[in-house]
Amino acid sequence: MSVRICNFPSHPSFLLQPRSQSQTAARSTRIFARTENESSRSDQQQLNLSVLRFTFGIPGLDESYLPRWIGYGFGSLILLNHFSASPPISESQLRSEALGLSLAAFSTALPYFGKFLKGTEVEKRSLPEEGEQVFVISSSIGDSLKEDLAWSTYVLLRNTSTVAVMISIQGELCVRGYWNCPGQMSKAQLHDWFKRKTDEIGLADVKETLYFPQYAGSGLSWDVLPDGTRSVFVQPLLRNVNESEKVDGFLMVASTAGYAYSDKDRAWIGAMADKFRG
Amino acid sequence: MEARFINQIQIPKNPNRRFTRPPHDFPRFIRASSSTSQEPKSYRGPKPSKNLVADFVSRNDDSVRSLPIYVGGASLLAVLFNRALSGIAPVADASSSQSRADLLALGLAVTNLLTGLVWLSIRPKTITPIEPEGVDCKVLEPNLPASIVSELLWAWESLKVATCCKSLVIVYNGICLIQIGMAAKSPEDKKAVVVNTDKLMNGSVYQGVMKSKAQSYLANLSLYPGRSELPFLPPNTQAVILQPLGDKGVAVIGGNTIRGFTSSDQAWISSVGEKLDATLGRCFVDSNESSQETDQ
């Protein structure tokens, strides 16, 4: 077990000295250049935390799930105690056990609730093991548009936890990242292949943004996405035509981390989509 | 003055494009598609379902944070009460199965209490945004090509929507290209203060940013002595990011919240800065070349 002082947003974990330290220890630090994707879920507030963090010192062990393990452990011990006790079991014991079991259930659910609180870290993305890394861009568009597409796909891959990005403008595609596509196809063939696939899914006229933070549980199965995709976000590209908005295409990003796109990420992705507006 | 500016769009292509991998069998995507129509189908897939728990927790952040404390505290009292009620002495030993059950329930209650305390301690400090004092302005350098204007306006719209930015000033090649958003009100004519590019470029703030070639984030502007070099920003601007655009210009982005720009915002702003530099650099090289030709 060890105690270390850390200066970045931390998981909810057991503190050594809960309240007294948190008020005095909040130093404001200069924000260092981002090295990993640490997007906080709070919109306008910057987290500047110095907390004493209690950790077992085992790398890879996530202490924020400790209530869940304790819930499982103690809950099973309560059941064991119940069944190993010789009858008659007194009513007060039954009451205690009922209380203990409901507490265990609540503790198990706590890390799930904690995930939605402000100030928790977003999971890091992991690169998919299978799937090809591709960069396909349609050849029948102008150079400045090509440059814009190349830059926005690059920036989306770099600044968010995206592993796969696809932008479609009036049928012309730019695809970058890890996708589940066949290898050994020429660029033009790959472009047509992706176009066929997205036409089948039917994203060409999606009118509102779609955000699937838990892709696996949503009933979707878009084969083009790489294995291990857990969040998908689709943003339509609109064009103002005589006071009405027509859908020009879409921008799709996928990530291997769950709940990967916070409000701020989605706002920036919307800003990227606006670049291709009309 | 000849300015040879080599167009450097550094967008590294993926170095590991692996098309030489032997094809795996992906039986899943060999779908016999019988549709031969050229029209793309409209989207009939599932819409994302609303996650009630997530919405509830995000909306009632404060009360959810203290919920485990109340649950833990109430259960602690309930265990003691139960013991008192059934006439058993509150002795913490593991002799009888009643005591064991009680102890386990107590352990769980303490877990909940501690988790609640942890959640409370990592609550981010809410900082209220402060309305900037000044006038709304939109000043663009005349005679700019339309593509540049749309790019600058796009940058302003993205910053306005996605961050706490309220003012934007871009100075490039010694010219103030755009001053948009809230600006300080000049006392003489009640209009926006004009950006004095010479004063800005000779000031220490600009020189420092140019020398370090890195973004400078002044999270709490009131603490910063160089504040006087940015007179065109509203006087109560809370945070400022100075993003160098290559080595020829700077973007001054003013926000309305102390430490209002997150690290994600900073990364996005530096990417947007690189893009603006590429676009502006190309435009100014072209105009330099054409002015050279007319001179000769």
SS (HEC) of A137-196 = ECCCCCHHHHHHHHHHHHHHHHHCCCCEEEEEECCEEEEEEEECCCCCCCHHHHHHHHHH
* Residue A161 to residue A131: CA distance in whole angstroms: 17
**Measured CA distances, A168 to A176, A204, A222 (Å):** 12, 8, 16
pLDDT tens-digit series, residues B6-35 = 444 444 444 444 444 444 444 444 444 443
Contact assessment for residue A175 and residue A193, using Cβ atoms and an 8 Å cutoff: no
pLDDT grade for A268, boundaries at 50, 70 and 90: very high
pLDDT of residue A137: 86
pLDDT of residue A133: 80
Cβ neighbours for A145, distance < 8 A, ≥ 6 positions apart: A169, A276
* Residue A179 to residue A131: CA distance in whole angstroms: 5
pLDDT of residue B8: 43
pLDDT of residue A156: 92
The pLDDT of residue A20 is above 80: no
pLDDT of residue A87: 79
* Residue B78 to residue B61: CA distance in whole angstroms: 26
Whether the CB of A118 is below 8 Å from some CB of chain B: the reply is yes
Residue percentage of chain B with pLDDT more than 70? 77
Partners of A147 on chain B (C-beta within 8 Å) are: 9
E strand or H helix at B253: strand B249-255
Tell me, rounded to whole angstroms, the distance of Cα A87 from its chain centroid. Answer: 50
Amino acid at A251: L
One-character DSSP codes across B140-195: E-TT--HHHHHHHHHHHHHHHHHSSEEEEEEEETTEEEEEEEEEPBPTTTSSBPPP
The pLDDT of residue B147 is above 90: no
Note the ipTM here.
0.72
pLDDT tens-digit series, residues A52-77 = 455 666 776 677 788 899 999 999 99
pLDDT grade for B159, boundaries at 50, 70 and 90: very high
Give the dihedral sign, CA B131/B133/B135/B138.
negative
Contact A33 B85 (CB under 8 A): no
Contact B49 A218 (CB under 8 A): yes
pLDDT grade for B78, boundaries at 50, 70 and 90: very high
Residue percentage of chain A with pLDDT more than 90? 14
Residue percentage of chain B with pLDDT more than 90? 24
Nearest by CB to B68, from A78, A110, A202: name it: A110
Whether the CB of A96 is below 8 Å from some CB of chain B: the reply is yes
pLDDT grade for A28, boundaries at 50, 70 and 90: very low
Torsion angles phi and psi, residue A165, rounded to 5: -135, 140
Bridge partners of B167? B181, B254
**Measured CA distances, B200 to B192, B230, B231 (Å):** 16, 7, 9
**Among A residues 203-232, those touching chain B with beta carbons less than 8 Å apart:** 203-206, 210-213, 218-220, 223-224
More confident residue, A155 or B90: A155
pLDDT tens-digit series, residues A150-199 = 999 999 999 888 888 999 888 888 889 888 877 777 888 888 888 888 88
Contact assessment for residue A22 and residue A51, using Cβ atoms and an 8 Å cutoff: yes
Interface A–B counts its CB contacts (< 8 A) at 294
Q: Which of A129-133, A226-230, B102-106 has the lowest mean pLDDT?
A: A129-133
More confident residue, B250 or A221: B250
CATH code of the domain made up of A3-52+123-274:
3.30.450
Q: Calculate Rg over the CA atoms of chain A.
A: 24
Average pLDDT value for residue range A91-104 = 90
Q: Which of A216-230, A257-271, B108-122, B157-171 has the lowest mean pLDDT?
A: A216-230
Residue percentage of chain A with pLDDT more than 70? 73
pLDDT tens-digit series, residues A31-43 = 333 333 333 333 4
Average pLDDT value for residue range B217-236 = 86
Partners of A65 on chain B (C-beta within 8 Å) are: none
E strand or H helix at B81: helix B61-85
**Residue for token pair 């220490």:** B204
**What mean pLDDT value characterizes chain B?**
79
* Residue B217 to residue A30: CA distance in whole angstroms: 8
pLDDT grade for B277, boundaries at 50, 70 and 90: very high
* Residue A71 to residue A112: CA distance in whole angstroms: 13
Contact B23 A274 (CB under 8 A): no
Average pLDDT value for residue range B112-125 = 85
pLDDT of residue A79: 92
HSE-CB at A38 with a 13 A cutoff on CA atoms is 18
Average pLDDT value for residue range B112-129 = 85
Bridge partners of A54? A3
More confident residue, A243 or B67: B67
3-state secondary structure of B252: strand
Contact assessment for residue B233 and residue B252, using Cβ atoms and an 8 Å cutoff: yes
Looking at residue A43, the DSSP 8-state letter turns out to be S
Partners of A212 on chain B (C-beta within 8 Å) are: 48
Nearest by CB to B24, from A14, A112, A130: name it: A130
Q: Which of A55-69, A73-87, A246-260, B166-180 has the lowest mean pLDDT?
A: A55-69
Partners of B265 on chain A (C-beta within 8 Å) are: 264
Express the helix, strand and coil content of chain B in percent, nearest 5 each: 45, 15, 40
